[in-house]
Chain A
Amino acid sequence: MALIKNPFDHDLTPADAPLVHVQLDGQWVEVPRGLNVIEVARRFGKLIPHYCYHPKLSIAGNCRMCLFEMGTPKLGPDRKPILDAEGRPVLQWMPRPQIACATTAFEGIGIRTNSPLVESCQEGVLEFLLLNHPLDCPICDQAGECKLQEYAFDYGKGRSRFGEEKVKKPKRVDIGPRILLDDERCILCTRCIRFARELAGEDCLGITERGGYNRLSVYPDKRFTSNYSLNTADICPVGALTTKDFRFRMRVWFLKETESICVDCATGCNVTVGSREGIVYRLTPRVNEAVNSHWMCDQGRLGFHPIHSKHRVLEPGRRADGRLFPGEWPLLLRQVAEALRKLDPSSLALLVSARMTNEELFLVRQLRDLLQGDGEIFTEVVPRKGKADGLLRSDDLNPNSRGARILGIGTDGERLPELRKGIEEGKIRALFCLHEDAAGAGVPEALLSGLVLLVWQGILADRSSEIAHWVLPGASFAEKNGTMVNRAGRLQRIQQAIPTPGRAKEDIRILRGLILALGGEDFGQSGPEVFAKMAARIPAFQGLSWVGVGNQGVTLPGEVQ
């Protein structure tokens, strides 16, 4: 089950639903009783086109695109189905087409998805939908992933017989802080209305006016402020709802799509990263029925922007006399390794981020083991707490707290206060910050500047990087491969969408460089390689493979709550 409760799950059937026999385009097949006809066809590789139907929302039945021809078993005088030579019921076909979204499978139902009647219905509906549509595809963000375009191509007439004046409706309507509405493009499928009402729990959209002048509107004096508002842009089959963030930024067909996960909280919503030439343009939710179903929150969706921030650290360097001097990676890594080796292990602390991948954390652990000898190196992660919203957002804003726990790197920051105390007492005199700002984690800058060694690895400049002795620019979630464990104990992959910018380096390579310089073992220089080595050593990941984790992740047996 997904971590969010959908109001409906039309595409999932209960395991105990009995199988019934269904004739689909002449073939008899078996499907669970009660499955709707769109999903029946989908299971056998047939598409019944539709606009208003969404498997997770209530059935509206208004677009009329999914009309199909329905047959029922012909009954004999004894009120029993008449059987043909093969023992199958003889069907009689209803003269009126039915909507597939609201028709569910029963024993002996006949389904025709491509008969002349069905084709005429599809052609008719498309002609109607295009009558008053502005046909502004060249400037529409939806172009390329627009169901109106696709179906017009697949089922449409090719030309319009409409010679009248089109209905004028409002454009660029600001219905919420992150979303814009173009009423002329809207085909009034009401998916967004149902989403707002049934899923986001913010009933604020509706239809106003009447008949051909119908239009989508936001309630008077209301705005669509939900943290899930941008999902409506995803489920909008046309370009009526667009996100202010992505609007006019990039044609979608230029986007490279990478399957990854959102790292904005511990839920780990599955996403598709849309990028082009080293720049991420958008995240869109990717279906995973064990995590986020079809959805993600706006905050997570827009959370990728810092990776292109002007505060991104792009040059590795060493600070001397208060100034940072850029250096070559091999040299800098040798210097850092040397400085770490010289330390008394008990005087070193590692401040690690639970936003790092399991592979990186595993290498941090190897580095720690390599350095600490008989002593103990203090290691802890920085906690981030937010508010769970009962939908997808977790109260834990670190995406991999469970991974950090499994790998023995930190325990949600429980020991963090000891870090400041240790520095104050002079027990800790050296600090390695990995994707965390020690100043932000409660160690005053004055204390930090008194350290004999401060190494900083991360992506965005912060108070620690300003005073660190060595600055090692790492990679953002879009620039690396790895795995994380979400709040439900599910191991999921993040995948590299773009290269690291400037001279920044994937964290696995930085850590590998340090380990090798300290004479440690080579665990490989890519996520999959390190994962394989990690799976062999960490019991929680026993028996797992990079490929096996797949794009949907796997639940770790020992981690299910």
Chain B
Amino acid sequence: MAESGALTDRLREHRLILRYADEPGYSQDIDCYLRHGGYEQLRKALSMDPAAIVAEVKASGLRGRGGAGFPTGTKWGFIDHTKNRKPVYLLCNADESEPGTFKDRQIIYKDPHQLLEGMIIASYANRAHLAYIYIRGEMVRGAQILERALAEARAKNFLGTNILGSGYDLDIFVFRGAGAYICGEETGLIESLEGKRAYPRIKPPYFPAALGLYLCPTIVNNVETLCNVKHIVEMGGAAFAKIGTPNNTGTRIWCVSGDVRRPGYYEYDCGAITLGELLYDVCGGIRDGNRLKAVIPGGSSAKVLRAGEIYRVQRKKPDGSAEEIEMRLEDLPLDFDTIAASGSMSGSGGVIVMDHTRDMVECLSNLSAFYAHESCGQCTPCREGALWMHKILRRMVGGGARPEDPQLLLDVSGQIAGRTICAFGEACSWPVESFVAKFREEFEAKATAAQESESLSRAC
């Protein structure tokens, strides 16, 4: 946790979602939640028209916190309730598995009722009468906490039939995954929830809003996204939109891991602080007095940013006109759009920091091992390519690098991205593409070293 005393006001956290999470004495009990104003927004929401809530969410500019940053209100607007005759399902994606990301876990473990309240409001807004929390299999305690919270909510009629006398019925169930990263892909999640192998579906035609769970319209939202819904109802969409910067509204929880003095999770308004401020001021700088080498800004699937890079970033001036400015890595504001403009993405908010002692080939080999292991294997490029890239990298780390390897890695990653069923293709190829492109000399050095040691051993 940041030692707020040491920070200026500007750098002090603004906690919205994690407001009470780390307060001493705050517990997962529903009574504690109620004492802190819990379920008040649900009462308010139930008195509103569902369409009005969707309109507020649209007005809030809330973007999905799972990784893609898709506008939540737009997603909700895909279901045409005047024509739809099928049941609507709301799914909470709690399959948080992106390496470097650990924000949803904090919410579930520390403030589960906030998620439930957000979910009930979102279900009401989308006219869903059945919702599921798909939680990562490894989070056993999280599932237990949610089960208990659901029972508490049911007992108090925040769930069940005729919720708080409003005539609205809803139940929520926890579904535990079985330990696969791909279950976090929304259509893979739906397949898994249906009891099948979590093979992502082809889009078109299987867009969840049209043909989702059991081929019915389905909304899939991230844990943090759903929590935000509660706050949007509380303050109104327009007020929420004032938090952060235009098109980058609300707060975000940044999960910092790696070579910083104080890794952890920090909640800030979107774009309120820069990457440099997060690393050097909030997290206390690089560990052991080392130098920063690289940052992955949005979970392991995001492209790596190299220390010392200068980005040309389009920015909107207050008068509405666009200007292009140059920015150092440290100056990048932590939001969606600027990080995207730097060629990476803010993704799930998992900031992974690497200092100058890190061997980038080893780092990438480690990442590629994850993706080779987690590829579902449904479609050809990802199934074969992810494992191939890992085998090349493992060989390079093991001293068997060849001069053609860096280019081969680039070629292989280029043959995957954009050609697969789901975004896993990009997730596994972007790190490879960016690591090799930005640290090519390290990859080439591996080949040179391997050749030298071979000629030495031949000479002996």
- The answer to whether B379 and A214 touch across the interface, beta carbons within 8 angstroms, is no
Contact with A along B376-412 (1 / 0, CB 8 A): 1111110111111001100100000010100010010
Enumerate B195-247 residues with CB–CB distance to A below 8 Å: 197, 199, 202, 204-205
Report B199 CB to chain A, min CB distance, Å: 8
Q: Which of B13-21, B25-33, B367-375 contacts A (4 or more CB under 8 A)?
A: B367-375
Q: Does B415 contact A (CB under 8 A)?
A: yes
Report B158 CB to chain A, min CB distance, Å: 39
| Alpha-carbon gap, A124 to B420, bound state (A) | 12
Chain B, Cβ-Cβ closest to A96: B418
Q: Does B255 contact A (CB under 8 A)?
A: no
- The answer to whether B377 and A210 touch across the interface, beta carbons within 8 angstroms, is yes
- The answer to whether A211 and B387 touch across the interface, beta carbons within 8 angstroms, is yes
Which residue in A125, A164, A165 is a CB contact (below 8 Å) of B381?
Answer: A125
Chain A, Cβ-Cβ closest to B205: A102
Residues of A within 8 A of B205 (CB): 102
Residues of A within 8 A of B327 (CB): none
Report A411 CB to chain B, min CB distance, Å: 50
Residues of B within 8 A of A60 (CB): 202
Contact with B along A53-86 (1 / 0, CB 8 A): 0000001111111010000000000000000000
- The answer to whether A129 and B421 touch across the interface, beta carbons within 8 angstroms, is no
Residues of A within 8 A of B404 (CB): 161
- The answer to whether B419 and A211 touch across the interface, beta carbons within 8 angstroms, is no
Enumerate B409-450 residues with CB–CB distance to A below 8 Å: 411, 415-416, 418-421
| Alpha-carbon gap, A209 to B381, bound state (A) | 17
Residues of A within 8 A of B388 (CB): 128, 131, 162, 164, 212
Chain B interface helix/strand/loop/mixed: loop
Residues of B within 8 A of A213 (CB): 377
Q: Does B180 contact A (CB under 8 A)?
A: yes
Report A69 CB to chain B, min CB distance, Å: 12
- The answer to whether B383 and A103 touch across the interface, beta carbons within 8 angstroms, is no
Chain A, Cβ-Cβ closest to B203: A102
Residues of A within 8 A of B377 (CB): 188, 207, 209-214
| Alpha-carbon gap, A319 to B159, bound state (A) | 92
Contact with B along A151-169 (1 / 0, CB 8 A): 0000000000111110100
- The answer to whether B415 and A164 touch across the interface, beta carbons within 8 angstroms, is no
Chain B, Cβ-Cβ closest to A51: B380
Q: Does A315 contact B (CB under 8 A)?
A: no
- The answer to whether A62 and B373 touch across the interface, beta carbons within 8 angstroms, is no
- The answer to whether B375 and A64 touch across the interface, beta carbons within 8 angstroms, is no
| Alpha-carbon gap, A209 to B377, bound state (A) | 9
| Alpha-carbon gap, A48 to B388, bound state (A) | 26
- The answer to whether B380 and A62 touch across the interface, beta carbons within 8 angstroms, is yes
Q: With A62-B378, A207-B377 known to touch, is A212 a contact of B384 (CB < 8 Å)?
A: yes
Contact with B along A210-243 (1 / 0, CB 8 A): 1111100000000000000000000000000000
- The answer to whether B419 and A61 touch across the interface, beta carbons within 8 angstroms, is no
Report A113 CB to chain B, min CB distance, Å: 16
Chain A, Cβ-Cβ closest to B400: A163
Residues of A within 8 A of B373 (CB): 210-211
Most buried by A among B180, B395, B421: B421
- The answer to whether A64 and B408 touch across the interface, beta carbons within 8 angstroms, is no
Residues of B within 8 A of A103 (CB): 204
Q: Does A127 contact B (CB under 8 A)?
A: yes
| Alpha-carbon gap, A210 to B61, bound state (A) | 38
Which residue in B392, B408, B419 is a CB contact (below 8 Å) of A124?
Answer: B419
Chain A interface helix/strand/loop/mixed: loop
Most buried by A among B372, B373, B378, B380: B380
Which residue in A61, A65, A120 is a CB contact (below 8 Å) of B421?
Answer: A61
Q: Does A121 contact B (CB under 8 A)?
A: yes
Chain B, Cβ-Cβ closest to A163: B402
Chain B, Cβ-Cβ closest to A123: B415
Residues of B within 8 A of A207 (CB): 197, 377
Q: With A131-B388, A165-B391 known to touch, is A99 a contact of B202 (CB < 8 Å)?
A: yes
Q: Does A132 contact B (CB under 8 A)?
A: yes
| Alpha-carbon gap, A109 to B205, bound state (A) | 16
- The answer to whether A211 and B372 touch across the interface, beta carbons within 8 angstroms, is yes
Residues of B within 8 A of A125 (CB): 380-381, 415, 419
Q: With A164-B392, A212-B386 known to touch, is A128 a contact of B372 (CB < 8 Å)?
A: no
Residues of A within 8 A of B418 (CB): 95-97
Count of residues in B whose CB is under 8 Å from the partner chain: 35
Which residue in B199, B202, B372, B376 is a CB contact (below 8 Å) of A102?
Answer: B202
- The answer to whether B380 and A211 touch across the interface, beta carbons within 8 angstroms, is no
Which residue in A59, A120, A132, A206 is a CB contact (below 8 Å) of B384?
Answer: A132
Q: With A64-B420, A124-B381, A128-B385 known to touch, is A211 a contact of B375 (CB < 8 Å)?
A: yes
Q: Does A433 contact B (CB under 8 A)?
A: no
- The answer to whether B415 and A124 touch across the interface, beta carbons within 8 angstroms, is yes
Q: Does A187 contact B (CB under 8 A)?
A: yes
Residues of B within 8 A of A97 (CB): 418-419
Q: With A67-B419, A164-B388, A164-B392 known to touch, is A61 a contact of B202 (CB < 8 Å)?
A: yes
Report A236 CB to chain B, min CB distance, Å: 16
- The answer to whether B386 and A61 touch across the interface, beta carbons within 8 angstroms, is no
| Alpha-carbon gap, A136 to B388, bound state (A) | 21
- The answer to whether A61 and B379 touch across the interface, beta carbons within 8 angstroms, is yes
Enumerate B263-285 residues with CB–CB distance to A below 8 Å: none
Residues of B within 8 A of A62 (CB): 199, 378-380, 421
- The answer to whether B375 and A210 touch across the interface, beta carbons within 8 angstroms, is yes
| Alpha-carbon gap, A319 to B108, bound state (A) | 93
Residues of B within 8 A of A120 (CB): 415
Most buried by B among A161, A163, A211: A211
Report A240 CB to chain B, min CB distance, Å: 15
Report A215 CB to chain B, min CB distance, Å: 9
Q: With A61-B379, A62-B421, A161-B408 known to touch, is A210 a contact of B391 (CB < 8 Å)?
A: no
Residues of B within 8 A of A132 (CB): 384
Enumerate A157-199 residues with CB–CB distance to B below 8 Å: 161-165, 167, 187-188
Report A301 CB to chain B, min CB distance, Å: 30
| Alpha-carbon gap, A62 to B420, bound state (A) | 8
Q: With A163-B402, A210-B373 known to touch, is A187 a contact of B380 (CB < 8 Å)?
A: yes
Chain B, Cβ-Cβ closest to A63: B380
- The answer to whether B204 and A211 touch across the interface, beta carbons within 8 angstroms, is no
| Alpha-carbon gap, A64 to B384, bound state (A) | 12
- The answer to whether B374 and A129 touch across the interface, beta carbons within 8 angstroms, is no
- The answer to whether B386 and A59 touch across the interface, beta carbons within 8 angstroms, is no
Residues of A within 8 A of B376 (CB): 210-211
Q: With A102-B204, A164-B392, A206-B197 known to touch, is A128 a contact of B386 (CB < 8 Å)?
A: no
Which residue in B374, B384, B408, B421 is a CB contact (below 8 Å) of A128?
Answer: B384
| Alpha-carbon gap, A129 to B380, bound state (A) | 7
26 inter-chain pairs at a CB distance below 8 angstroms, sorted by A residue, are A59-B202, A61-B379, A62-B380, A64-B379, A64-B380, A64-B419, A102-B202, A103-B204, A121-B419, A125-B380, A128-B383, A128-B415, A129-B380, A129-B384, A131-B384, A131-B388, A161-B404, A164-B391, A211-B372, A211-B375, A211-B376, A212-B372, A212-B375, A212-B377, A212-B384, A213-B377
On B, residues with C-beta under 8 Å from A are 180, 197, 199, 202, 204-205, 372-381, 383-388, 391-392, 395, 402, 404, 408, 411, 415-416, 418-421
Q: Give the 9 A-B residue pairs with the shortest CB-CB distance, closest first.
A: A212-B387, A124-B415, A214-B377, A128-B384, A211-B375, A61-B202, A164-B391, A211-B377, A62-B379
Besides A64-B419, A102-B204, 4 more A-B contacts (Cβ < 8 Å) are A60-B202, A210-B375, A212-B383, A213-B377
